[in-house]
Amino acid sequence: MVSYKELGLVNTREMFAKAIKGGYAIPAFNFNNMEQLQAIIKASAETKSPVILQVSKGARNYANQTLLRYMAQGAVEYAKELGWEHPQICLHLDHGDSFELCKSCVDFGFSSVMIDASSLPYEENIALTKKVVDYAHQYDVTVEAELGVLAGVEDEVSSAVSHYTKPEEVVDFATRTGCDSLAISIGTSHGAYKFTPEQCTRDPKTGKLVPPPLAFDVLDAIMEQLPGFPIVLHGSSSVPQEYVDMINMYGGKLPDAVGIPEEQLRKAAASAVCKINIDSDSRLAFTAAVRKVFAEKPGEFDPRKYCGPARDLMEELYKHKIINVLGSNGKAE
């Protein structure tokens, strides 16, 4: 048993309370490798933003769970070395799909876990979520639950269609499970293809796809039911066109990739939405930078020469999100 407190990590409770009060959101960035983690920590340390490091089941399988945990521990020390006196870093399991997986993360130094039982029938979702909450809270680990279904594909999580969260269910769900935060479905979606071209309109000037707006009426109704309760948005990458263009220009093929416009995320961040998950955007930045180096310098074979630029571009992206979209800069001095 390793307590996250010994690792210098924090859970989400205080982070979220402050974020809701202050009208901003905490970035939740997924990481799978060293470069991504370096970029996240540098961006957070330089902007003094609290940050949630997310590990998915896929990341645990890819990078090894033990190594990931030590990397998160190293991240705290790295942040201090960068001059961030009191780093507020949370290590969070993204889309836990079983009690056993969540328990293993709690036992292994995570400060927060998500149990995603949203694909189960309502009562089963409640039962499984409550079981995880009862276990995690013994160790002061916070729990994110999900109600409603997001469309899209992310690691092992996938669904063809989305079902918006039903506002009439949220009070019963939050009360009976005791969860600390709730991921909802209001039209965000996993992956770099959040909407089909048929779901979008086209900007007559640029010919680019314009996605349908998020269901802010559903968010408002949820906030009315659960005033001040921490709300989470998954699948909230914006799929920056500059990265998609770079990838396509340098030999990639991502036709009609489309994400959530940043002005909609800014609006959400100002509400009770206090955690916004961003994964695809950093994948795009990484890939765009690597493709550029490969295209321009075909003789290059030192991974540092293409992973380095990828890391720089991700850092730039994370800083942009923190400062211009989520507003979490300067909230963790």
Catalytic residues: 94
Residue nearest to Zn ion (CB): 234
CA 23 from chain centre, in angstroms, equals 18
CA distance linking residue 182 with residue 232, whole number of Å: 6
Closer residue to Zn ion, CB minimum distance, 150 or 174: 150
Minimum distance from residue 5 beta carbon to Zn ion (Å) = 26
3-state secondary structure of 203: coil
Residues 6+ apart with CB under 8 A from 309: 289, 290, 292, 293
CB of 234 or CB of 291, closer to Zn ion: 234
For residues 26 and 12, the answer to whether their CB atoms sit within 8 Å is yes
| Residue 196 beta carbon to Zn ion: minimum distance, rounded to whole angstroms | 19
- In this complex, which beta carbon is closest to Zn ion, that of residue 19 or of residue 151? 151
Burial 86-125 (b: 16+ CB within 10 A, else e): ebbbbbbbbbbbebebbbbbbebbbbbbbbbbbeeeeeeb
Exposure of 281 in the CB half-sphere (CA atoms within 13 A): 30
CB of 288 to Zn ion, least distance (A): 22
Distance CA 187, CA 141 (A): 28
Q: Which is nearer to Zn ion, 73 or 277 (CB)?
A: 277
| Closest approach of Zn ion to the CB of residue 57, in Å | 11
Q: Which stretches of the chain bind Zn ion, using CB under 5 A?
A: 234
